[in-house]
Amino acid sequence: MNNAELLKTQFCGMDFNTPLVLLSGCVGFGEEYTRVEGYSNQDVGAVCLKGTTVEPRLGNRPHRVYETPAGMLNAIGLQNPGAEQVIKEILPALPKQETRFIANLSGSTIEDYAEIARQFDDTDIDAVEINISCPNVKCGGMAFGNDPEMSARVVEVCRKATSKPIITKLSPNQTDIAENARRCIEAGTDGFAVINTMMGMAIDIESRTPIIGNNQGGLSGPAIKPIALLKVHQVYQVTREHGIPIIGQGGITSAKDAIEFLIAGASAIGIGTALFYDPLICSKINQGISDYLQQHDMQNVSELVGTLTLNT
């Protein structure tokens, strides 16, 4: 069997060329990444667009990005032109015949999420990813995703506002991610992205101030991979009985990493920070997954999902 057939998979009813998904915030609104010589949309199953809010946002003060040991801090602040411009000017230009495109929806209130989900429902976008790590301005800035009740409420209002597949992006910065996943399933989510970034800080020792203009930022990259793997495994214990798929993400830089996430329970693999230092990494990861499947006499990547056997 050829590599293309081995790698084809389904996620929330969508046909993916491969299990790889380019993560929100790492490739702009999709069209920017096609400028990389040698890149092909055929290498990925889907592209998650940059986080979008109802109204335009300028984002945070600099510095917004800082490299850390085995990782990267970012605090972009959801800079984007707003939903109306994204829908009218960006979506029509996306090469939808080549891969799937997923909108990333963000908000500061429950009403924001409902409104933006409604706006994207009347488009040809393939699915929506809801970023519940945003701060709830009505609750003193606490992130929606850190409380199962608030997470479920966001999913619930989005479910009422759209018929498109909903992928809920879960935060690792919470007490019980499995309970949060369970509540989101009850509220109507179709899939999960596990995990979002961890919160972190870097300090300039000469000025004795945070390097990131927002004081703190989201940590991504290889440093968070072991945490992400565990969270995928924990969420999979809840999702497998419902047949709800997971995009596993967090520090994936090789085929080996990707295979670990598939074994832990992910049905698709999110690639983010690795793109910054190797923009063509997706084809390499695809080849490594294909080689592994052939070596183990598997006919499709789905045969590998959730095959972890725990030590007793």
* 181-209 tens-digit pLDDT: 999 999 999 999 999 999 999 999 999 99
Dump the DSSP string for 214-249.
Answer: TS-EEEESGGGHHHHHHHHHHHHHHHGGGT--EEEE
Which is more confident, 175 or 24?
24
Considering all CA atoms of the chain, what is the largest pairwise distance in Å, rounded to the nearest integer? 59
Band the pLDDT of 119: cuts 50, 70, 90.
Answer: very high
User: What percent of the chain has a predicted confidence (pLDDT) above 70?
Assistant: 97
In this model, does residue 227 exceed pLDDT 70?
A: yes
Which is more confident, 257 or 33?
257
The pLDDT score that the predictor gives to residue 139 is 67
- Virtual torsion, Cα 290, 30, 233, 175, nearest 10 deg: 170
The pLDDT score that the predictor gives to residue 55 is 97
Structural contact between residues 145 and 188, judged by C-beta atoms closer than 8 angstroms: no
The number of C-alpha atoms within 13 Å of 80 and in the hemisphere containing its C-beta is 26
Mean pLDDT for 152-159 is 97
∠ at Cα 102 (145, 128), nearest 5°? 45
Cis peptide leading into residue 63 (ω within 30°): yes
- Expressed in angstroms, the distance from the first to the final Cα of the chain is 36
* Of residues 228, 284, 282, 291, the one with CA closest to residue 260: 228
Looking at this protein, which amino acid is placed at residue 123?
A: T
Q: How far, in Å, CA of 6 to CA of 118, rounded? A: 36
In this model, does residue 34 exceed pLDDT 80?
A: no
The pLDDT score that the predictor gives to residue 138 is 73
Any idea which of 21-35, 98-112, 278-292 has the lowest mean pLDDT?
21-35
Q: Is 166 helix (H, G, I), strand (E, B) or coil?
A: strand
Tell me whether residue 48 is one of the annotated catalytic residues: no
Q: Is 149 helix (H, G, I), strand (E, B) or coil?
A: helix
Report the relative pairing of strands 127-131 and 166-170 from DSSP bridges: parallel
CA distances from 149 to 18, 168, 248 (A): 34, 14, 23
CA distances from 299 to 5, 40, 217, 248 (A): 8, 24, 41, 21
In this model, does residue 12 exceed pLDDT 80?
A: yes
Both tokens of 44, joined, read 């990925």
The pLDDT score that the predictor gives to residue 51 is 96
**Which residues, 6+ apart, have CB-to-CB distance to 295 below 8 Å?**
none
- With b for 16 or more beta-carbon neighbours within 10 A and e for fewer, the 231-247 pattern comes to bbbbbbebbeeeebbbb
**Which residues, 6+ apart, have CB-to-CB distance to 27 below 8 Å?**
33, 47, 48, 50, 275
Which candidate in 48, 134, 158, 184 is catalytic? Answer: 134
The pLDDT score that the predictor gives to residue 35 is 77
Q: How far, in Å, CA of 31 to CA of 10, rounded? A: 23
Kindly state the helix (H) or strand (E) to which residue 6 belongs, with its residue range: helix 3-7
Band the pLDDT of 1: cuts 50, 70, 90.
Answer: low
Domains of the chain: 3-51+75-197+219-304 (3.20.20.70)
**Which residues, 6+ apart, have CB-to-CB distance to 163 below 8 Å?**
121
The pLDDT score that the predictor gives to residue 92 is 95
In this model, does residue 29 exceed pLDDT 80?
A: yes
* 248-301 tens-digit pLDDT: 999 999 999 999 999 999 999 999 999 999 999 999 999 999 999 999 999 999
